[in-house]
Chains A and B, each alone.
Chain A
């Protein structure tokens, strides 16, 4: 086997047919067997194609609608959200568009309100499902000291708000919309047991927990749920970065700083 013949990529989701006389240009692309440009392009909705990419199967109409609801619910967490705020920091300074989205991904990736929290919450849903006793144990037992990871330790139960007092209206509205669209599953159970879980955890349900329940119902593994969360929150970050680039630094917060160990000006300054 030559070195070149080893340089291949194995995939269960993508196949290409090369154009005649041009081995580097694809004439046809197939996603899990479906002709993307010949058929999917005209007949599928974006949520259907997104689901196909991640799951390898086209979704039912109900599943596609649930994914669409989720995508709308988290498309723009708003300019106060750390991920969007980070993107705006890039935008206002005129950084490249990719830097704005990289900033949004970094600030939106964490275990507190970010995609890693969705990952952790999905693990909880996989473990506890619709068993109140399992939830009670999971939410009241402090996490065992595990092996150190690059992620900082979680400081609140995943899926619940770090600081909120009540479950926010947008979270309740999204839950209602999803419950109306999907029968049973984690979402159906959450719709009737949300307040019980909030009582046990001592915190209101957050969008991360709602997302985790819905993504679990849609059949995504935690790693895929984490990736989708990162992906689906980018539209708002992009739009706000572009907006701030136009409005400029004079209209963007710079915040007051309290330096507790300031040595003060040098003599003569």
Chain B
């Protein structure tokens, strides 16, 4: 894949980093590192937009809150943000949802191509997984996702909104809205569909998304650092509501 020759040069996937790649857009280089392919300027603009439009500096969000709490405790910025990014590999949002919906879109497309009705494919996925990541949201199950129209418009402008996976993602939404589930497509499904239509495989897409929430995290850390120490999201002892066993004696038990 590559290596460095101190004082001389660096090799990046078979290319001289400081010659052939020195002017590369950072995201283009990042994707090249992941999948070994370069992407067009239009694709890079859409992929940038997918990151930009999900960068929410809201310290209440669970991953961002990690950065804020680390700031409150005066940890380092890098530890704060690294931990917040690792936290983004969550099951109810973030990377676990992203890889699952990308995988489902690929499987659903293959099944439909093989002749299975999409309604059947969707019903089976709901039966097996009790939900489809990418549809509905943990904080607003049936609300329209505010990010979708923005990124879809940008993708349309770039001529990248008409791919097979995007069409499939909307067809799945129609099924889920018509049924009893009342789930709208969220950003995870649209973003995955756009990226799959650019040729990214699900695991490539997952790695591409690693910094997706990054831009929203430093503000959470910085803001907490600007407050008095340990003054971000403080909780009184009374905020703990205990439901466990009644008080008991350890020493007495041991006798």
Q: Which A positions have Cβ atoms within 8 angstroms of B?
A: 7-18, 23-26, 30, 32-35, 39-40, 43-44, 56, 58, 96, 98-99, 102, 106, 147-150, 257, 259, 261-263, 265-266, 269
For B15, the chain A residues whose CB sits under 8 A away are 263
- The answer to whether B180 has its CB under 8 Å from any CB of chain A is no
| A56 B9 Cβ-Cβ under 8 A | no
Complex CA distance for A5 and B96, rounded to whole angstroms: 32
For B242, the chain A residues whose CB sits under 8 A away are 11-12, 14-15, 30
Complex CA distance for A262 and B14, rounded to whole angstroms: 5
| A8 B245 Cβ-Cβ under 8 A | no
One digit per residue, 1 when the CB lies within 8 angstroms of any chain A CB and 0 when it does not, for chain B 86-106 equals 100100000110011011100
For A9, the chain B residues whose CB sits under 8 A away are 235, 239-241
| A147 B103 Cβ-Cβ under 8 A | yes
| B240 A14 Cβ-Cβ under 8 A | yes
| A99 B79 Cβ-Cβ under 8 A | yes
| B99 A24 Cβ-Cβ under 8 A | no
**Total A-B pairs in contact (CB under 8 Å)?**
124
Q: How far is the CB of B251 from chain A (nearest CB, A)?
A: 5
For B102, the chain A residues whose CB sits under 8 A away are 148
Name 29 interchain pairs, CB-CB below 8 A, sorted by A.
A7-B235, A7-B239, A8-B241, A9-B241, A13-B244, A18-B238, A23-B237, A23-B238, A24-B234, A30-B242, A33-B244, A34-B248, A34-B249, A43-B254, A56-B244, A58-B250, A96-B76, A98-B76, A102-B82, A147-B128, A147-B129, A148-B202, A149-B96, A150-B89, A150-B95, A150-B99, A257-B3, A259-B11, A266-B19
Complex CA distance for A260 and B199, rounded to whole angstroms: 26
Q: How far is the CB of B56 from chain A (nearest CB, A)?
A: 19
Besides A12-B242, A39-B250, 9 new A-B residue pairs in contact (Cβ under 8 A), listed by A number: A24-B235, A26-B237, A33-B247, A96-B79, A98-B76, A98-B79, A149-B99, A263-B16, A269-B8
Mark out the residues of chain B between 1 and 18 whose CB falls within 8 Å of any chain A CB in the assembled complex: 1-3, 5, 8-9, 11, 13-16
For A262, the chain B residues whose CB sits under 8 A away are 3, 11, 14
Complex CA distance for A43 and B251, rounded to whole angstroms: 7
Q: How far is the CB of B242 from chain A (nearest CB, A)?
A: 4
For A106, the chain B residues whose CB sits under 8 A away are 86
- The answer to whether B236 has its CB under 8 Å from any CB of chain A is yes
Q: Contacts A150-B206, A261-B13 known; A10 to B249 CB distance under 8 Å?
A: no
Complex CA distance for A12 and B249, rounded to whole angstroms: 17
| B129 A261 Cβ-Cβ under 8 A | no
Complex CA distance for A11 and B239, rounded to whole angstroms: 10
Complex CA distance for A69 and B207, rounded to whole angstroms: 39
For B130, the chain A residues whose CB sits under 8 A away are none
Question: Which of A10, A18, A98 contacts B243 (CB under 8 A)?
Answer: A10
